[in-house]
Amino acid sequence: MTLFDNHKADLIEAINQELPRNLICSRVDVQMTTDHGAPVELVYIDVKPLAKMPESFSQRERVRRCVADALLAVGGAEFHGILVEEKQDDQSVMRFVHRAVL
């Protein structure tokens, strides 16, 4: 059972509400895997700029916090996971990966 697979549209909407106006959530992909036998849900979130890409650490951290707030809003207060920014060769997109053991 996945937490976000049935709520992709809600998650995209929540992320876009949290993000600054010059950024949009362009894609959410949910995948299931296992880690030492435990089911793990991976949520890949792509954020694209409408203008300039955030470059400084504080700007990128603000975007990460916006994504985290949206995940919490959709997943609920009992939900826990790890959210990290994944480095991309394509500098036109920011990718975040949320990993949760179910």
Which residues neighbour 64 within 8 Å (Cβ) at sequence distance 6 or greater? 83, 85, 96
Q: Is the pLDDT reported for residue 15 higher than 70?
A: yes
CA torsion angle for 5, 8, 10, 14 (degrees, to 10)?
A: 120
User: How many CB atoms lie under 10 A from the CB of residue 46?
Assistant: 18
Reported as half-sphere exposure (CB side, CA atoms, 13 A), residue 35 has a value of 9
Does the 5-101 domain belong in CATH 3.90.1170.50? no
Enumerate the domain spans of the chain: 5-101
Q: What is the pLDDT of residues 18-48, one digit of tens each?
A: 999 999 999 999 999 999 988 999 999 999 9
| Collapsed DSSP state (helix, strand, coil) of residue 93 | coil
Q: Give this prediction's pTM.
A: 0.91
Q: Is the pLDDT reported for residue 1 higher than 70?
A: no
CB 98 within 8 A of CB 71: yes
Strands 23-35 and 38-49: antiparallel
